[in-house]
Structure 1
Amino acid sequence: MSAKHFINDPTHLVNTALLSIPHTNPALACDLPNKIIYRKPTGNGVSKQVSIISGGGSGHEPSFASFVGNGLLSGAVAGTIFASPSAEQVRRCILHRVEKEKGVLVVVMNYTGDVLNFGMGVEKARASGLDVDMVVVGDDAGVGRAAGGKVGRRGIAGTVLVQKISGALAAQGASLKEVADVARLVAGNLVSIGSSLSHVHVPGRSVVETGQDELKDNEVEIGMGIHNEDGSERKVTDLPGLVSTMLKHCLDTSDKDRSFSDISSSDDVVLLVNNLGGVSALELGGITNEVVEQLMKDYKIKPVRILAGTYMTSLNGVGFSISLLKVADTGLGKGKSLLELLDAPAEASGWSAAVKTETWYRLNEEFKTEEQGESDAIQSSNLQLDSTLAKSVLTTALNRLIAAEPDITNYDTIVGDGDCGIGLKRGAESILKHLDKSKKTDDAIVFLQGIINVVETTMDGTSGAIYAIFLNALAHGLRQQSSSSPQPITSQIWAKALESSLEALSKYTPAQPGDRTLMDALFPFVKTLSKTANIDDAAKAADEGAKETKGMKASLGRTVYVGGEGWQGVPDPGAHGLAELLLGLSEGLKK
């Protein structure tokens, strides 16, 4: 492949692409430091609505930034090329860039980085008292159930139908629950698959000579993902044969590994034929015709709506994807059916609807970003704790975790990339510094929020995201139990909040006990504390759970890819580190 690009610097490329969007739609603004595109506040008496936020790695344009506009998204958060944006970017978008009065819905594709980082942003917003929901879209039939495992289907181009339909409903003034329910209805009735003639070259990366893993001139890869991921098979075939295979993966109900939908000839179906970036408009027309003819001939399906164009790309990928949406009843009445919502106008440059003339005149004035209202003051609660005791107990626990760093690092060197212990130590040391310098408070949530802020800024990677999501959800769980008058926080209140945060964490990671992750320590700790209200028993249960990961085959995380010998004799480093921390809490309470 040629490495020629007009812009070879990936950072400059992403930044300038984002800056171009307000030029093409004057209703939008760009927060470049946080890579956020969002609607300008109009201040013209327009009624408030549920805000819809989406995003992901750059390289999928016009998704997602060019879908921001009236009738579609309220804001979009961009990462670097093919990489998820950070949780901090997401948090800023939710808290400071969109309307929050009627709630916020986050729509994200099912990729680990996106789910974790957007999820952390959601939990952060919830912890501050906002009404936020999140829908994860996994529509890809390119990888079957067996290969997908616990992670499930990837999110690909069908996601744009979820965004468009939920965006139209939000514009009509529907509630957050109604919008989220319809988004889930669409996601649950979607199936998609993509194919490509080649992998793409990412600007800024070195060009490697074509090797045996690259597609040959006469090959096509079926099920290729939008981040250059391999598909399920490679074939030498023509277009009719390729489309036939793709439709079979989407519609063959006898294939139990891939049968994700039950679409039949009696259903109303929406068809989306999406250009992955490098197919000419002329050729996409021929592809669309082939898809429509095969649907009618082989499956007796005549789509009631056909969208063909460039919606979600893989840079300049020479490929296309097919998405099929089974039209279901929203139950919301006239004007709010899936088809009516799909047909509703959207003033977004990446969608087919044109920007109205009146919008150009009204909003094509110089816009200055105002930063008022960006304070992150923590709302106090009526849950009281003994801050002196809490500081003492935490100090004991954190010092025990720091002392365990050499063992954790050794274990992670064997089963991972060796950074787990250093990351935990860095976070623990930062929290200790925070405890020494922070103002004394007996408010449990204010105390916890200070720790959360440290975790979010000093701990990175997957473990940092998991700790931050869990702690934010813990703050939310505590706030839900706060009464109108001051009350001491009890072990029962902690246990209930921990149960809710464990449930929240399960939305963003499929990890469960037995997968050789920190969940093997966290799960028994929370469950035992809820049952016994005894932290000593709970910490011992966490320690036992961590020790039981020795010899356990990993289902998630980097350990999945580790071969050879050695991993059977060591515990999961994340589970061991968490157990040491929890044992330290128990130890601190005994002093």
Structure 2
Amino acid sequence: MSARHFINDPTALVNAALQSVTYTNPSVALDAENKILYRRPVGDRSNNRDEHQVSLISGGGAGHEPSFAAMVGAGLLSAAVSGTIFASPSAEQVRKAIMGRVDTGRGALVVVMNYTGDILNFGMAVEKAKAAGLDVDMVVVADDVGVGRTKGGKVGRRGIAGTVLVQKIAGALAAQGRSLQEVAKVARLVANNLVSVGASLEHVHVPGRAPPDPKSKDGLGFDEVEVGMGIHNEPGSGRAKVQLPELVKTMLSQLLDQSDADRAFLNINSNEVVLLVNNLGGVSPLELGGITAEVVGQLGAQWGIRPVRVLSGTYMTSLNGLGFSISLLNVVNTDIGGPSMIQLLDDPCEATGWAAPIRKETWEAKNEATRDDNTALGGETKSSGLNINAEPMKEALTAGLQAVISVEPDVTRYDTVVGDGDCGIGLKRGAEGILNHLSKTKLTGDVILDLANIVSVVEMDMDGTSGAIYSIFLNALVHSLKTFAPGDATDVKIWTGALKQSCEALSKYTPARPGDRTLVDALYPFVEVLGKTGDLKKAAEASRDAALGTKGMKASLGRTVYIGGSGYEEVPDPGAWGLACFFLGLAGLMPSEEGWDTI
């Protein structure tokens, strides 16, 4: 046992924590394979309110408990999907939640925080559900003012603890039988009238990872506080050596000062304001009470705000983060001819994360029903007639995937400098998964059928932002190739046309463009040069040159934006380099100590 954690295996920890929710709330069941917590169906279904209401689905990386898992219950979430610690769940997990673990007769609303991986994975699942004929909408919450407009750039504000207010109000409205359009409208209204900011005395440590270096320049001093720290250890607006009154004054100023052009995201002008003081996980209830008193006191004395509701407790954590966040909701008219935001916030629910009591009737029902029907989770891709010689295709794919695996140490090292260090491992995991698939499955030569099978491997084996981007792009590529079928798949024009359409599809889910220092910097040149020349080798070399050109390029998107520093001057973008290596391998080039040589 470590001095830091009772459970050091992160996988076992997440699985056990999810299972525990079913012990504390008997109305909730767990799909352990997909890390989905969902409301159990009622036996005779005659009084199952879920069938007569919009289903509300949310989720994200583990480590933020009680969000999102313990927010599942009557009057709140219908289902929550969990990733690994601080990593978004895969699109496949989310898709199964939407299409197989909740009722969708009245539609479903997905609420997600503004993090790239979450938006991409949840977004792809939403699009797949729509394609299957379901009525699904998605609301993105971006309430954090800790990173201002200038630093946030295209990424925008992060989603933090205020998200639970969106979930609670939307969940209560859904439970009253309102339409998807009304629930989505009010959820967006709450999200647009919400601001939050956090502060922490130290970074948190993720179980299973090496302990942080106490001498690291990234570590906080004993008397320092990080103002605006994100829920994944991302830095905020700066560090300070202040006592609580001055800290709260700074945080409230960032939330309310309209003269701060970089952070004046919301003008609190309502007569009714809701205050949420959230424990990031490591603050004692005693100390959180003192913090809450300070916040309420300053709101009244300095800003003339007397909240109509004060919520203080643990709603969204950063593991055992030694910090807190403040959220303010500007209560406005919902314009739906019904309950107000306050009434919806007060509405009872049965979710242990909201600290609402579970009715004795629920306990005594001893409901053990589960959802095991997988018939709605997808169909098979049919033969298309767009064919190619299978053996050369397999050899080229194998070479490209082996190239990705061979450069994993470099990609990991680059991502350690400018990211969170998992890019190389994620790419390697995906490449190994596809190679394993190729070793067990004989390719048919039908490129659409073969590619669709590979996409399934990518969706299951790659998580995080890269996995979502590759999954969206490859799904779009399958769809685009279908517009050309049947025919000869050796025609370069077919591939360039389909690749361009796939780039356009990807652009709907990410603002990344060449020059933003992402894998897109390696993707677009490859597609462009392939279209102009029809030469795979020249296209791969263009991708390589563009990837190398990201060295010294300041990031506009991704976690690098929050990390900052000068690391971007030292290494190329990890994702761009990994993709370029795949293209080079695909074209018959492999890395060596002397450079890139023809095989």
* TM class, shorter-length: 0.7 to 0.9
Structure-2 separation of matches of 1:7 and 1:119: 33
Structure-2 separation of matches of 1:488 and 1:181: 46
The aligned amino acid for 1:512 is R
The 5-angstrom pairing of residues 141-180 of structure 1 reads 141-180=145-184
Q: Which residue of 1 aligns with 2:387?
A: 388
Q: Which residue of 2 aligns with 1:355?
A: 358
Local SS of the residue matching 1:102:
coil
Query: Which digits, 9 at most, give the CA deviation of each residue in 1:478-514, with x for residues without a partner?
Result: 99x99xxx99999999999878754653454331122
Local SS of the residue matching 1:33:
coil
Partners of 2:89 and 2:463 within 8 A in 1 = no
Structure-2 separation of matches of 1:497 and 1:344: 50
Task: Kindly state the Cα deviation for residue 6 of structure 1 after the two structures are TM-superposed.
Answer: 4.9
Partners of 1:37 and 1:76 within 8 A in 2 = yes
Partners of 1:27 and 1:40 within 8 A in 2 = yes
Q: Which residue of 2 aligns with 1:436?
A: 442
Query: Which digits, 9 at most, give the CA deviation of each residue in 1:100-138, with x for residues without a partner?
Result: 333332222223343344344444444544443332322
Q: Which residue of 2 aligns with 1:589?
A: none
The 5-angstrom pairing of residues 374-413 of structure 1 reads 374=375, 376-378=377-379, 385-389=384-388, 398=397, 401=400
Task: Kindly state the Cα deviation for residue 12 of structure 1 after the two structures are TM-superposed.
Answer: 4.0
Query: Which digits, 9 at most, give the CA deviation of each residue in 1:290-309, with x for residues without a partner?
Result: 22222222222232322222
Structure-2 separation of matches of 1:559 and 1:350: 32
Q: Which residue of 2 aligns with 1:134?
A: 138
Structure-2 separation of matches of 1:184 and 1:163: 11
Give me the TM-score of the superposition, normalised by structure 1: 0.79
The answer to whether 1:464 aligns with 2:467 is yes
The aligned amino acid for 1:188 is N
Partners of 2:28 and 2:40 within 8 A in 1 = yes
Partners of 2:388 and 2:446 within 8 A in 1 = no
CA distance change for structure 1 residues 488 and 515 in 2, over 3 Å: closer, same or farther? same
- Number of equivalent positions: 566
Structure 1 window deviating more from structure 2 (97-106 vs 516-525): it is 516-525
The aligned amino acid for 2:110 is V
Partners of 1:123 and 1:469 within 8 A in 2 = no
CA distance change for structure 1 residues 544 and 18 in 2, over 3 Å: closer, same or farther? closer
CA distance change for structure 1 residues 128 and 579 in 2, over 3 Å: closer, same or farther? farther
Query: Which digits, 9 at most, give the CA deviation of each residue in 1:188-218, with x for residues without a partner?
Result: 2211011223334444555557446544444
Task: Kindly state the Cα deviation for residue 41 of structure 1 after the two structures are TM-superposed.
Answer: 0.7
The answer to whether 1:255 aligns with 2:260 is yes
Partners of 1:523 and 1:542 within 8 A in 2 = no
Structure 1 window deviating more from structure 2 (556-565 vs 347-356): it is 556-565
Task: Kindly state the Cα deviation for residue 72 of structure 1 after the two structures are TM-superposed.
Answer: 0.6
Query: Which digits, 9 at most, give the CA deviation of each residue in 1:505-541, with x for residues without a partner?
Result: 3454331122243424655788999xx9x99599999
Task: Kindly state the Cα deviation for residue 187 of structure 1 after the two structures are TM-superposed.
Answer: 1.7
Structure-1 separation of matches of 2:212 and 2:412: 29
CA distance change for structure 1 residues 276 and 548 in 2, over 3 Å: closer, same or farther? closer
Task: Kindly state the Cα deviation for residue 68 of structure 1 after the two structures are TM-superposed.
Answer: 0.3
The aligned amino acid for 1:16 is A
The answer to whether 1:296 aligns with 2:266 is no
The aligned amino acid for 2:55 is S
The aligned amino acid for 2:354 is W
The aligned amino acid for 1:436 is K
Q: Which residue of 2 aligns with 1:513?
A: 514
Structure 1 window deviating more from structure 2 (192-201 vs 519-528): it is 519-528
Q: Which residue of 1 aligns with 2:284?
A: 280
Q: Which residue of 2 aligns with 1:371?
A: 372
Partners of 1:123 and 1:472 within 8 A in 2 = no
Identity value in percent: 55
Q: Which of 92, 98, 101 lines up with 1:97 in the alignment?
A: 101
Structure 2's unaligned 5+ residue stretches are: 416-422, 589-599
The answer to whether 1:232 aligns with 2:237 is yes
Partners of 1:269 and 1:301 within 8 A in 2 = yes
Local SS of the residue matching 2:169:
helix
Task: Kindly state the Cα deviation for residue 65 of structure 1 after the two structures are TM-superposed.
Answer: 1.0
The aligned amino acid for 1:519 is V
Partners of 1:455 and 1:467 within 8 A in 2 = yes
Structure-1 separation of matches of 2:210 and 2:529: 52
The answer to whether 1:38 aligns with 2:38 is yes
Q: Which residue of 2 aligns with 1:24?
A: 24
Give me the TM-score of the superposition, normalised by structure 2: 0.78
Partners of 2:52 and 2:177 within 8 A in 1 = yes
The answer to whether 1:70 aligns with 2:74 is yes
CA RMSD of aligned residues (A): 4.4
Partners of 2:520 and 2:576 within 8 A in 1 = no
The aligned amino acid for 2:387 is T
The aligned amino acid for 2:197 is I
Local SS of the residue matching 1:30:
strand
